[in-house]
A and B are shown apart, each in its own frame.
Chain A
Amino acid sequence: MNVRLYLWQRMTAAAMVPLLIVHLAVIFYATRQDLTAADILSRTRGSVAWALFYGVFVAAAAIHASIGVRNILVEWTPMRHRTAEIASIGFAILLGVLGLRAIAAVVLP
């Protein structure tokens, strides 16, 4: 891992700490308040704030996790570095697409 990847992994980790706390708080709130799927969707649909919140979260998670996966592949498999890089970029794209699809499903009107 070089300094650029190190910094991205640390920065995305730092960014995710408050996002994760809010995310967990929302889950607790929704379950404690007995919010139904319809209640939740009525709050998230058309909400730029929730789209931005989870958009940043998904981007940070995809970058953070794929750098970690790259390291695991480099250290624990006989894979070449270049192949590990391509595989981890693919993993980041997969996480990004899945995450953004999930966001689109709850925020698009």
Chain B
Amino acid sequence: MQSEMSVSLWRGGEDGAYVTYKVPERANQTVLDVVTWIQRNVDSTLSYRFACRVGMCGSCAMVVNGRPRWTCRTHVSKVAKNGALQIGPLQNMPIIKDLATDMKPFFEKWQSAKGVFEPSKTRHDPIEEIRPDTPERVAADAAVECINCGVCYSACDTVRWNGDYMGPAALNRAWSLVNDVRDSGQAERLQAVASGGGCHSCHSHQTCQQFCPQSLNPTAAIAGLKRRTVQAYLKGDLKK
């Protein structure tokens, strides 16, 4: 007989609860496979998100046995505790239903951190050559592979304590743009991340870099923003 494992899934909205299911154990299965198995075989009303299933899109992040992870690239064998899994929605975001959270506040903070590229040239200008070994390009490179999964935002204590805090992902994005020599919106960006809820609210707990599935280091990006904004403030480039 095939062995089974016990999987608890969060069901319902904010006032929901964990419900336990029995799922067949396979030699190779990801946490996302387990959730999908339950949705296909036990309860088709289960809500959750996924798209690419190969760790590119950042849709399937959930809290697995207490820590946020990208479920499509997380093998059950690596995270199950005594053959059991507890899978909940990402923290620090409102729960819509079951494992799906409302990521609106997360992306709104990308906007408030000025995480949008502001071009300095038009389509009629020649393409600007950026040497890959310049310090700016190297610094941008370190932060650029974010897949917007929300794992760092879910893991961050400061986000939990301070509703205004922009969070690691938005500030990490701002840092890659601060190092983008083609961008023309630097003054507004530094102003935005230097305000209340910006980079100076970070306590450098480093859970973001510990849990980031892409092995990025948002704490280092935020430290870079702290340095850059302090320099701008001392030069008088920032408004109060």
What is the bound-complex CA distance between A5 and B222, given in angstroms? Answer: 16
A2 touches B196 (CB 8 A): yes
Residues of A within 8 A of B240 (CB): 4
- A89 vs chain B, min Cβ distance (A): 16
**Chain A residues with Cβ under 8 A from B93's Cβ?**
none
Point out the residues of chain B lying under 8 angstroms from A5, CB to CB: 200
Q: A3-B230, A3-B238, A7-B230 are in contact. Are A81 and B161 (CB under 8 A)?
A: no
A1 at the A/B interface (Cβ < 8 Å)?
yes
Q: Which of B102-157 contact A (CB under 8 A)?
A: none
Chain B, range 152-177, C-beta contacts under 8 Å to A: 158, 161-162, 164
B226 CB within 8 Å of chain A: yes
Q: With an 8 A cutoff between CB atoms, is A6 at the interface?
A: yes
B195 adjacent to chain A (CB < 8 Å): yes
CB distance from B198 to the nearest CB of A (A): 7
A1/B161 contact (C-beta < 8 A), A6-B230, A7-B233 known: no
Encode contact with B along A63-92: 1 for CB under 8 Å, 0 otherwise: 000000001001110000100000000000
8 Å CB contact of B200 from A2, A74, A76, A81: A2
Q: Min CB distance, B178 to chain A, in Å?
A: 14
Closest chain A residue, CB of each to CB of B225:
A3
Q: A2-B195, A2-B198, A3-B238 are in contact. Are A75 and B162 (CB under 8 A)?
A: yes
**Of all chain B residues, which has the CB nearest A77?**
B161
A:1-19 near B, CB below 8 Å: 1-7
CB-based contact B196/A75 at 8 Å = no
In the bound complex, do residue A4 and residue B233 qualify as a contact, i.e. CB atoms below 8 Å apart?
yes
CB contacts (< 8 Å) of A74 on chain B: these are 162
- Complex Cα distance, B6 from A103, in Å, reads 66
Chain A positions within 8 Å of B200 at CB level? 1-3, 5-6
Contact with B along A37-80 (1 / 0, CB 8 A): 00000000000000000000000000000000001001110000
- B29-42, CB under 8 A of A: which get 1 and which 0? 00000000000000
Give the size category of B's interface with A.
10 to 19
Tell me the smallest distance from the CB of B229 to a CB of chain A, in Å.
Answer: 5
Q: Do A6 and B226 touch (CB < 8 A)? A: yes
Q: Which residues of the other chain, B, contact A75 by a CB distance below 8 angstroms? A: 158, 161-162
Cβ of A3: which chain B residues have Cβ within 8 Å of it?
194-195, 198, 200, 229-230, 233, 238
What residue in chain B is nearest A75 (Cβ atoms)?
Answer: B161
Instruction: Give residues of chain B (176-231) contacting chain A, Cβ–Cβ below 8 Å.
Output: 194-196, 198, 200-201, 226, 229-230
Nearest residue, chain B, Cβ from A1? B200
Cα–Cα, bound, A12→B164 (Å): 25
A contact residues vs B (CB 8 Å cutoff): 1-7, 71, 74-76, 81
User: A7-B233, A76-B161, A81-B196 given. 17 additional CB < 8 A pairs?
Assistant: A1-B196, A1-B200, A2-B194, A2-B195, A2-B196, A2-B198, A2-B200, A3-B195, A3-B198, A3-B230, A4-B240, A6-B200, A6-B226, A6-B230, A7-B230, A7-B234, A75-B158
Sorted nearest first, the 10 A-B pairs with minimum C-beta distance are: A75-B161, A6-B200, A3-B194, A1-B200, A3-B233, A2-B196, A3-B229, A75-B162, A1-B201, A2-B195
